[in-house]
């Protein structure tokens, strides 16, 4: 295509706003970065696609991993993260995560986050592939909601931060490899706006909604990765997507995450014959890495398609269960399940993207003045498979490092402005965005899910190729723009999955079922 924009516009005709930072996203990575910058004296504009509650942070249940206990250490956390990452973790990034993590968690507590306490000490739980109890949690199983509550309150009260909800970031304004700002669509006014800044921070989260079943909110459609890639940013490890093993699987009920902390407290997985099966698949049984548990569940389902798989908490102390998992209990009760007496039907669902926009250890991309942190970013800290509860920590640590790296940027002169414009032809025929989206979600779930092979991946790419003409036409609506993002990011995932002819971590090829030493490397794509 002639340029990297997907909607027609001319900045001379649009309302223009200026701030030191424009931050896209209001989850833990976006709001923590905004708070640090705002309190240093910078002016910050936060754009969020819908509301400040529509984030993966708000939905996180299990907790946040950090070596806060005297019996734990950053070194143990480091080793656990490397093991889970299946040989592809960037060791420098992991060192930063585990060593700076406790300080960032303390900062979060200073902001007002209230984590659960027992006997005057932080109450810690254990999750899959962790060698000890190091997961801080809040309100039992509502850790993310507590963190989001604190960040929302603090960000909305900070005089240097302006939060604009229902502003959909459409494209980055980039020329000669310098990012000058963002083009965004204001849903409330039905118009495009220009947000000019000294630095743009992508914190747009993941892409779970590319799949039919996901733990992610509806806004998680890979927009940040798509706009960065269009603008010339490098993306890395796009084939590595994590599927959560235990998501509520009831006909007619929306998918709902059943926290890994349930298995950390002793819940076990059973098949339709009520047999415990995980010890047959891994020495850590239910606490094996997530990719192992997912494949085990799928194999049990294949053996007995009508039997299903269940998470069983019935043998645990009911008082403990209700105290630790009030949110899960309340949700399941709404569907007639008493988790102290009934097994919970579960199945895997799309959960977390290990790959994303490639950055260094300070969130810098290959585009000047464009930064990325949180799930949209990839500095290699998670490798091929993220260790449970490292995601919230990732957003804190690398979001904080961006602000420290750019401290004082607001004293620099604003980059000289030149206008931007796009004139793309309109599509020659009407496009049913929703129908294409649903077809794409179905194909991604079947062929680019936890189990993949060449034939299936090529089917998905052939489907996407059928809509390649959209790349050279203008999206007249935000829905049309989002569809283009979905198609682009789905292509990036499928293409890299096709390239990697091995199985490793969250990427499993049925036609190449083993890891290969020759693939101890990253796939980096740039437009």
Q: Is the separation of the CB atoms in 500 and 487 below 8 Å? A: no
Sheet (strand 524-525) strand order: 377-378, 356-358, 235-236, 524-525
| CA 10/CA 391 separation, integer angstroms | 38
Indicate the Cα dihedral angle 317, 322, 327, 328, nearest 10°.
30
Q: Is the separation of the CB atoms in 123 and 117 below 8 Å? A: yes
Torsion region of 27: left, alpha or beta (phi above 0 gives left; psi -120 to 50 gives alpha): beta
Helical packing angle, 91-111 and 391-406, nearest 10°: 90
Q: Is the separation of the CB atoms in 222 and 501 below 8 Å? A: no
Q: How far is CA 236 from CA 225, 355, 519, in A?
A: 10, 5, 14
Q: Name the one residue in this structure whose structure tokens are 């909800």.
A: 165
Of 232, 213, 230, nearest to 367 (Cα)? 232
Q: How far is CA 148 from CA 145, 206, 402, 441, in A?
A: 5, 17, 20, 28
Write out the two tokens for 232.
Answer: 């010339």
Half-sphere exposure of 522 (CA within 13 A, CB side): 23
Q: Is the separation of the CB atoms in 223 and 270 below 8 Å? A: no
| CA 390/CA 406 separation, integer angstroms | 24
Q: Beta-strand (E) ranges in 293-393? A: 309-312, 344-353, 356-358, 370-372, 377-378
Catalytic site residue 290? yes
* Annotated catalytic residue, options 149, 263, 290, 324: 290
Q: Is the separation of the CB atoms in 391 and 95 below 8 Å? A: no
Active-site residue set: 290
């Amino acid at each position: 295509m002639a340029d990297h924009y997907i909607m027609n516009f001319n900045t001379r005709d649009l309302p223009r706003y200026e701030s030191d930072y424009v931050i896209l996203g209001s989850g833990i990575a976006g709001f923590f970065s905004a708070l640090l910058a705002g309190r240093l004296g910078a002016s910050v504009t936060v754009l969020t696609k819908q509301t400040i509650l529509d984030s993966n942070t708000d939905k996180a249940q299990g907790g946040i991993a950090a070596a806060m206990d005297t019996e734990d250490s950053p070194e143990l956390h480091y080793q656990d993260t490397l093991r889970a990452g299946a040989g592809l973790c960037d060791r420098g990034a992991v060192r930063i995560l585990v060593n700076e993590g406790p300080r960032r968690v303390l900062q979060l507590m200073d902001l007002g986050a209230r984590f659960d306490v027992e006997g005057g000490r932080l109450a810690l739980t254990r999750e899959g592939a962790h060698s000890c109890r190091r997961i801080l949690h809040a309100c039992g199983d509502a850790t993310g909601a507590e963190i989001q509550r604190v960040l929302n309150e603090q960000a909305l009260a900070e005089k240097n931060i302006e939060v604009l909800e229902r502003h959909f970031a459409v494209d980055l304004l980039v020329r000669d490899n310098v990012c000058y700002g963002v083009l965004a669509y204001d849903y409330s006014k039905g118009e495009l706006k220009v947000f000019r800044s000294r630095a743009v921070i992508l914190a747009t989260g993941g892409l779970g909604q590319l799949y039919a079943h996901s733990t992610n909110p509806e806004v998680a459609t890979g927009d940040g990765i798509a706009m960065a890639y269009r603008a010339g940013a490098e993306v890395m490890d796009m084939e590595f997507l994590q599927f959560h093993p235990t998501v509520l699987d009831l006909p007619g009920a929306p998918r709902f995450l059943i926290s890994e902390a349930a298995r950390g407290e002793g819940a076990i997985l059973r098949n339709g014959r009520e047999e415990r099966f995980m010890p047959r698949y891994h020495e850590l049984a239910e606490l094996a890495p997530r990719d192992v548990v997912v494949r085990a569940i799928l194999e049990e389902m294949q053996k007995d398609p009508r039997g299903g798989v269940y998470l069983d908490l019935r043998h645990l102390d009911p008082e403990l269960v209700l105290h630790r998992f009030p949110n899960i209990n309340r949700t399941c009760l709404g569907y007639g399940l008493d988790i102290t007496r009934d097994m919970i039907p579960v199945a895997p669902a799309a959960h977390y993207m290990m790959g994303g926009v490639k950055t260094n250890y300070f969130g810098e991309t290959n585009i000047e003045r464009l930064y990325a942190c949180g799930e949209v970013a990839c500095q290699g800290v998670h490798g091929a498979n993220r260790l449970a509860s490292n995601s919230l920590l990732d957003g804190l640590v690398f979001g904080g490092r961006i602000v420290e790296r750019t401290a004082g940027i607001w004293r620099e002169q604003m980059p000289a402005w030149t206008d931007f414009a796009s004139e793309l032809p309109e599509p020659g025929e009407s496009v049913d965005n929703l129908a294409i989206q649903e077809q794409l979600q179905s194909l991604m779930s079947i062929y680019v899910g936890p189990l993949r092979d060449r034939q299936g991946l090529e089917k998905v790419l052939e489907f996407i190729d059928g809509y390649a003409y959209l790349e050279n036409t203008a999206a007249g609506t935000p829905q049309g723009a989002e569809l283009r993002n979905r198609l682009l990011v789905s292509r990036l995932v499928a293409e890299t999955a096709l390239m990697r002819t091995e199985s490793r971590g969250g990427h499993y090829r049925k036609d190449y079922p083993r890891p290969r030493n020759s693939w101890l490397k990253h796939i980096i794509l740039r437009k």
